[in-house]
């Protein structure tokens, strides 16, 4: 198929190997030459230094210059993207997440993991919240909405684009907007637990769907326990612990707005008697806390979004985990996480190990945790595994 309308990007010698192994990113340093006019969001063809076609992708000025979405020479039309979205939807059907009477919130599209780099879509009980990290995918937001309407039918009542947070800093014309309907929030079910999700004012797309399986695991260990949930956001871990019979749960977050949502979700699920909210800096709270907690959850925001701050992030994780090790009761269970993509799993484990040594506690590893199956990552793109977690038994 002729694709002469697309500009041509040529990579340098030996820079084609990762592309031929289906890695979906072309970094700026790998590019030898660009032929033809090219602007952010354009589809480009990528060629080797020996003029061999390699892949098709969206161009965007930056460290990741081309995000690849096809290794075939073709003209991606609406049907191309409809089939991509259908594949993502069929995969979620395989996971049992569509028409699930106990759970109506899940990630519908996870960027590179679903061969749509730079694009995520979260489904909240009839609403799809879209977030774009790529101008090329953003320019197709209405086409994507049309495809979602075609695929989901009456299961889709609202589509909200929340890309100002991801693309708006470099392009002020990008604003959050409704592409279908105008619902501002809803009540969702996750494993029969109720949560209010506010995609207008909430962080990310409104709810941290990626901790669903890990929240369920917290519930399994929470019965009769005194639980501390730090960086609690809207209280996901807290609700699961309460649902499974925790003696009490203390939820801590520095955001007063988040704590209002926690209280609303606790009330929604009927657990006001054995829950207390604290609006506080987590480090300060841990420093002043006594050793009454049987189960502690550490789920901080990403301490490192770029490699140039990785050292400071590692020190932050070490300090946080050291304080938790010092305060947890003998025989207690610690759930600790990192969602920083640049902090690799081995580095995170070594950081937690250092914290255990500093605290002088004996620690068993009970579980290695990651993101759930609706956040898949390609085996060719290990960067897609961003969530790392450990469940630890502390003597």
Among the residue ranges 16-25, 305-314, 375-384, the one predicted with the least confidence is: 305-314
- What is the C-alpha separation between 28 and 114, in angstroms, rounded? 23
In Å, how far from its chain's centre is CA 229? Answer: 19
Give the mean model confidence (pLDDT) for residues 262-268.
97
What per-residue string of b and e applies to 120-152 under the rule 16 or more CB within 10 Å gives b?
bbbbbbbbbbbbbbbbbbbebbeebbbbbbebb
Q: In the prediction, which pLDDT does 30 show? A: 97
Q: In the prediction, which pLDDT does 1 show? A: 43
The end-to-end CA distance of the chain, in Å, is: 64
- What is the C-alpha separation between 317 and 204, in angstroms, rounded? 22
Give the mean model confidence (pLDDT) for residues 207-222.
98
- What is the C-alpha separation between 232 and 251, in angstroms, rounded? 6
- Considering only CA atoms, give the Rg of the chain: 22
What does the pLDDT look like over 16-30, one tens digit per residue? Answer: 999 999 999 999 999
- Under DSSP, is residue 283 helix (H, G, I), strand (E, B) or coil? helix
The four Cα atoms 53, 59, 65, 71 give a dihedral, to 10 degrees, of -30
Q: In the prediction, which pLDDT does 2 show? A: 44
Full set of structural domains in the chain with CATH: 7-70 (2.30.130.10), 78-191 (3.30.750.80), 208-394 (3.40.50.150)
Strand order in the sheet with 53-59: 25-27, 64-70, 53-59, 43-47, 7-11, 31-35
- What is the C-alpha separation between 125 and 83, in angstroms, rounded? 23
What does the pLDDT look like over 226-264, one tens digit per residue? Answer: 999 999 999 999 999 999 999 999 999 999 999 999 999
- What is the C-alpha separation between 45 and 120, in angstroms, rounded? 23
pLDDT value at 299 more than 60: yes
- What is the C-alpha separation between 327 and 68, in angstroms, rounded? 47
Give the mean model confidence (pLDDT) for residues 370-390.
96
What does the pLDDT look like over 173-193, one tens digit per residue? Answer: 999 999 999 999 999 999 999
- Tell me the DSSP string of 312-376: HHHHHHHHHHHHHHHHSPTTEEEEEEE--TTS-HHHHHHHHHHHHHHHT--EEEEEEE---TTS-
pTM of the model: 0.94
What does the pLDDT look like over 54-113, one tens digit per residue? Answer: 999 999 999 999 999 999 999 999 999 999 999 999 999 999 999 999 999 999 999 999
Bridge partners of 45, per DSSP, are 8, 56
Give the mean model confidence (pLDDT) for residues 111-118.
98
């Amino acid at each position: 198929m002729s694709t002469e309308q697309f500009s041509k990007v040529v990579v340098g010698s030996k820079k084609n190997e990762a592309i031929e192994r289906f890695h979906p990113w072309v970094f700026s340093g790998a590019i030898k030459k660009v032929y033809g006019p090219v602007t952010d969001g354009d589809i480009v063809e990528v060629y080797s230094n020996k003029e061999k076609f390699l892949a098709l992708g969206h161009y965007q000025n930056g460290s990741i210059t081309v995000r690849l979405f096809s290794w075939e020479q073709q003209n991606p039309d609406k049907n191309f993207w409809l089939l991509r979205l259908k594949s993502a939807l069929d995969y979620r059907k395989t996971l049992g997440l569509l028409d699930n009477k106990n759970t109506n919130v899940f990630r519908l599209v996870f960027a590179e993991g679903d061969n749509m780099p730079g694009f995520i879509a979260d489904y909240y009980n009839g609403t799809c919240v879209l977030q774009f990290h790529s101008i090329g995918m953003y320019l197709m937001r209405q086409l994507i909405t049309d495809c979602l309407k075609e695929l989901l039918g009456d299961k889709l009542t609202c589509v909200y684009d929340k890309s100002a947070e991801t693309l708006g800093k470099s392009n002020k014309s990008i604003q959050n907007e409704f592409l279908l309907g105008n619902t501002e929030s809803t009540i969702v079910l996750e494993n029969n637990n109720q949560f209010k999700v506010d995609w207008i004012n909430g962080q990310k797309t409104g709810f941290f769907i990626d901790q669903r399986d890990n929240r369920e695991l917290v519930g399994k260990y929470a019965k009769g326990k005194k639980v501390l949930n730090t960086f609690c956001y809207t209280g996901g871990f807290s609700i699961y612990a309460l649902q499974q019979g925790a003696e009490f749960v203390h939820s801590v977050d520095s955001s007063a707005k988040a704590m209002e949502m926690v209280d609303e979700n606790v009330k929604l699920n009927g657990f006001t008697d054995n829950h207390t909210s604290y609006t506080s800096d987590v480090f300060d709270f841990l420093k002043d806390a006594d050793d009454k907690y049987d189960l502690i959850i550490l789920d901080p925001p990403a301490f490192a979004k770029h490699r140039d701050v990785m050292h400071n992030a590692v020190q932050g994780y070490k300090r946080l985990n050291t304080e938790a090790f010092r305060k947890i009761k003998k025989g207690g269970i610690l759930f600790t996480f990192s969602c920083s993509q640049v902090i690799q799993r081995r580095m995170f484990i070594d950081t937690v190990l250092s914290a255990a040594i500093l605290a002088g506690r004996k620690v068993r590893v009970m579980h290695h945790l990651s993101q759930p199956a609706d956040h898949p990552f390609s085996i060719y793109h290990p960067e897609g595994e961003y969530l790392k977690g450990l469940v630890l038994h502390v003597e």
